[in-house]
């Protein structure tokens, strides 16, 4: 098959996220190639004519063009863009990621939280407008990574900013592939630094504790209720119970570590979630810890 893997930081030349983007793109490209597929991905190429340099094509146009040439495709992009870009893929080829409507629901942190509340999935108390007072985490309603996230005791929320109650506990994520069935890959420990601002510094894959089954079941229920498909990650804080704090309807940075320890090809599992049957389980061997500043070596 001919597969498109479109990663925003590499495809649009966004320096702020280029290390994470290159690392995730590299994992997926190598895995699809190892499975015998041809891979095409957009890059932020520069063309020079008459002494003037300019980008050859913007990211969305690249996806539109390349997806028409491919048998299937997957997009990794910021929350506010991912739904529309995924829709472009679905119009032109087989989408290996979550459906656009599920993407839009997951990436709207306020609506996603409300939807999970209805399903009785544990989430932090969340305020979408007005004043707040107490121990809260303030973050953009739409946004990826840890951009703009900070702790605050009180304030007035601006447009498209939400506040969630701060929960003491372990910062974890669960990586799951969903097709006709659900295949848990790993529970991961997130290296989070909280010093006023909340920053993601890396992770350890996998992470084991005596509550892993509870964590995985919460993540599986979360993804089912939101209509997710393909590879997705559920961020949680493990306190008295696993609280879902974010849902990523796309490959996340944890895939870098997962590819190191999984005794299966990520690409094969993603394709099976779309076109075939997922195995009941996959084996994991060893563990891998990575930090953001080390990603250029991976």
Band the pLDDT of 293: cuts 50, 70, 90: confident
Residue 108 and residue 221: Cα distance in Å, rounded? 18
Residue 287 predicted with pLDDT over 80? yes
Residue 51 predicted with pLDDT over 90? no
Question: Do 215 and 245 touch, CB atoms closer than 8 A?
Answer: no
Hey, what CATH topology would domain 2-96 get?
A: Rossmann fold (3.40.50)
Q: How many CA atoms lie within 13 A of 44 on its CB side?
A: 12
Question: Do 46 and 53 touch, CB atoms closer than 8 A?
Answer: yes
pLDDT at residue 46, rounded to an integer: 46
Residue 1 predicted with pLDDT over 50? yes
Terminal-to-terminal C-alpha distance of the chain: 26
Residue 147 predicted with pLDDT over 80? no
- Range of weakest confidence among 40-49, 102-111, 161-170: 40-49
- Range of weakest confidence among 1-5, 198-202, 216-220: 198-202
pLDDT at residue 56, rounded to an integer: 46
Residue 48 predicted with pLDDT over 70? no
pTM strictly above 0.85: yes
Question: HEC string of 43-63?
Answer: CCCEEEECCEEEECCCHHHHH
Band the pLDDT of 148: cuts 50, 70, 90: confident
Q: Over the stretch 222-259, which tens digit does the pLDDT of each residue have?
A: 999 999 999 999 999 999 999 999 999 999 999 999 99
Q: How many CB atoms lie within 10 A of CB 84?
A: 15
Q: What does the mean pLDDT of the chain come to?
A: 92
DSSP, res 172: E
Tokens (6 digits) for 7:
């990663």
Band the pLDDT of 57: cuts 50, 70, 90: low
Residue from 1, 177, 3 nearest 89 by CA: 3
- Range of weakest confidence among 15-24, 124-133, 187-196: 15-24
Residue 166 and residue 102: Cα distance in Å, rounded? 26
Residue 268 predicted with pLDDT over 80? yes
Residue from 186, 177, 183 nearest 204 by CA: 186
Strands (E), 65-217: 72-76, 94-95, 126-127, 131-140, 150-156, 161-165, 170-178, 182-195, 197-205
Residue 45 predicted with pLDDT over 70? no
Classify residue 196 as left (phi > 0), alpha (psi -120 to 50) or beta.
left
- Range of weakest confidence among 48-62, 214-228, 266-280: 48-62
Map out the domains of the chain as residue ranges.
2-96, 106-120+168-297, 126-165
Residue 99's SS3 state is: coil
Residue 75 and residue 216: Cα distance in Å, rounded? 25
Question: Do 93 and 109 touch, CB atoms closer than 8 A?
Answer: no
Is-cis flag, bond preceding 206, omega within 30?
yes
Hey, what CATH topology would domain 106-120+168-297 get?
A: D-amino Acid Aminotransferase; Chain A, domain 1 (3.30.470)
Residue from 174, 176, 194, 172 nearest 184 by CA: 176
15 or 279, greater pLDDT: 279
């Amino acid at each position: 098959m001919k597969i498109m893997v479109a990663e925003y930081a590499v495809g649009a030349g966004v320096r702020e996220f280029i290390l994470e983007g290159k690392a995730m793109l590299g994992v997926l490209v190598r895995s699809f190639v190892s499975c015998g597929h041809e891979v095409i991905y957009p890059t932020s190429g520069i063309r020079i004519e008459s002494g003037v340099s300019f980008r050859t094509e913007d990211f969305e146009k690249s996806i539109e063009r390349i997806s028409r040439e491919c048998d299937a495709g997957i997009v990794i992009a910021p929350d506010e863009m991912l739904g529309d870009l995924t829709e472009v893929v679905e119009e032109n080829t087989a989408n290996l990621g979550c459906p656009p409507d599920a993407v839009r629901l997951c990436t709207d942190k306020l609506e996603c939280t409300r939807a999970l509340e209805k399903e009785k999935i544990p989430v932090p108390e969340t305020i979408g407008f007005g004043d707040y007072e107490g121990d809260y985490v303030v973050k953009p309603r739409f946004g990826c990574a840890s951009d703009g996230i900070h702790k605050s005791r009180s304030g007035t929320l601006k447009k498209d900013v939400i506040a969630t109650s701060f929960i003491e506990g372990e910062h974890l994520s669960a990586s799951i592939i969903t097709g006709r069935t659900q295949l848990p890959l790993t529970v991961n420990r997130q290296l989070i630094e909280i010093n006023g601002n909340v920053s993601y510094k890396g992770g350890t894959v996998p992470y084991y504790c005596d509550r892993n089954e509870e964590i995985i079941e919460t993540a599986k229920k979360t993804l089912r209720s939101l209509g997710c498909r393909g590879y997705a990650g559920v961020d949680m804080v493990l306190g008295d119970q696993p609280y879902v704090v974010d849902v990523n309807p796309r490959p996340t940075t944890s895939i870098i570590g997962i590819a190191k320890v999984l005794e299966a090809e990520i690409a094969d599992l993603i394709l099976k979630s779309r076109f075939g049957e997922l195995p009941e389980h996959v084996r994991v061997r060893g563990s891998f810890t990575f930090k953001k500043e080390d990603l250029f070596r991976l």
